[in-house]
Chain A
Amino acid sequence: GQSLEQPSEVTAVEGAIVQINCTYQTSGFYGLSWYQQHDGGAPTFLSYNALDGLEETGRFSSFLSRSDSYGYLLLQELQMKDSASYFCAVRDYGGSQGNLIFGKGTKLSVKP
């Protein structure tokens, strides 16, 4: 089966940098995705890493190490609007095309 582990809560101050870690166990691995969800809102796609290394998209970056079954989401220059839950996800290839399996999420609180 698939499992993902990520911290349940993280707190940081405005302007700071925060890293949200995710470790995974899968029977087959193709890549790691990250989603953001504000309270009461829809999850929105942030990034996808299929290869080792760092992918940068504006203030957000995502890293993957396939050998360590580990990835992280890095948020820089934190803003109050970044307060949200962040989910890592992998594809479960138990079926023909697989489906996305999500971690339990990390609730990020940004303080002034």
Chain B
Amino acid sequence: DAGVTQSPTHLIKTRGQQVTLRCSPKSGHDTVSWYQQALGQGPQFIFQYYEEEERQRGNFPDRFSGHQFPNYSSELNVNALLLGDSALYLCASSFGQGSEKLFFGSGTQLSVL
């Protein structure tokens, strides 16, 4: 049984570009949350998707958007990249929105030059 898979694992972009990150949740999970983790910091909540809708959102600008597909997979899009967007982007899946036990992918390391 595959766990949470994310692609790509690494990505290099330049300022002003746009990026799309992808996530496939663990089998049987219906909820996907996205987190941003800066080096040496804890994961920061970006948003959560359930039933193909954004249900919760953290303190991130509208440049960050997402989508969830009928098969529960999800995408994170970031427009107009800034240097400060360089971070590890983690996807976490769960069964239901209020689960305490999240299953994380290994993340996408985004570098903005």
Contacts and interface: CB of A to CB of B under 8 A. Distances in A.
Interface stretch (B12-20, B65-73, B78-86, B103-111): B103-111
A98 B4 CA distance: 21
Contacts of A42: 4, 90, 104-107
Interface string A87-100: 10101100111111
Chain A interface extent, by class: 20 to 34
Nearest to A104: B42
Contacts, number: 65
B90 A45 contact: no
A103 B57 CA distance: 18
Nearest to A90: B100
Contact of B43 (A41, A44, A87, A95): A87
Nearest to A32: B100
Contacts of A99: 33, 45, 48, 56, 58
B44 to A, nearest CB: 8
Given A42-B107, A43-B90, A99-B48, A31 B100 contact: yes
Contacts of A31: 100
A33 interface: yes
B108 to A, nearest CB: 12
Interface of B: 4, 33, 35, 40-45, 48, 55-58, 90, 92, 97-98, 100-107
30 contacts: A31-B100, A33-B100, A33-B101, A42-B4, A42-B104, A42-B105, A43-B90, A43-B104, A45-B101, A45-B102, A87-B43, A91-B98, A92-B45, A95-B55, A95-B57, A96-B55, A96-B56, A97-B48, A97-B97, A98-B97, A99-B33, A99-B48, A99-B56, A100-B33, A100-B45, A100-B100, A101-B45, A102-B35, A103-B42, A105-B42
